[in-house]
Structure 1
Amino acid sequence: MTLSNHKLETLANEAYEITATIREAVSASGVAEGLCVVFVPHTTAGLSITSFWDPKGLEDIHDDINRLVPTRIDFKHQFDTPQDAAGHVKSVIVGVSLTLIIMNGQPLLGHSQGVFFNEFDGPRQRQFFVKCSRD
């Protein structure tokens, strides 16, 4: 089993493709068949798998998430800002971990799928972890 920690500087309401980093972590792990868990230890960020072909698709996703959970001042909890409070809700909806199958030494993803780190607050210094293990 291997665990790697990766750093990321983010801006508010942005998505960052981390597929290449995950592929590198899986390759470095030496695991040919098994599982890869990606985890974000933040309460205002999340992970998603979606198409990487058109960056406008990511904008659409974030636009709709923002429509579903708008930044507003009437949240019952206000940690730092209304944006931070909205980020907590968005993070819960999107999720902070993904489990990928490792097959032939690579994460199993569809032809046009990529893994994205989603920042719902920011700007921030962020990190995410990748853990690979055999079956």
Structure 2
Amino acid sequence: MTNTTSDRQADIDAIERVVATLEHSQRNELPEEFIGLFRADAIWTTAHGKRLFDRAEIAEFTRQVLPGAMRDSTVTYEVEHIMFISPDVAAVKARGRYRTLDGEPAGNPTSPLYVMAREDDRWLLVACQNTEVLGD
């Protein structure tokens, strides 16, 4: 399979949309939208070290913590770097920033790493590690 510049840009755009959807689902407390971004066998480690194995565990955790999580704050994610491991697998480094509803910084930023895979022309989260950044 050859990968043209336009194919690569389409992949980058699609990956950025996944991160934007992740932000949207968190900001709007939409657990099902968030859960739908993960592959069935995905793994996720939260910013505080909770390890979740497969979409069912991710779903159970998300349904417990996401409703109400954004009542006093909001979050933004910025894609900082995308490294294509293969044409259908990418490591994505992002930057998460939490703010109060008035726009003031709230808590420490995070530095998530998302490994994504393309399946059926859709990019999905496969292996994710969210890390709280202290002192930034």
Same fold (TM over 0.5): no
TM-score using structure 1 length: 0.29
Higher relative contact order (CA 8 A, sep 6+): 1
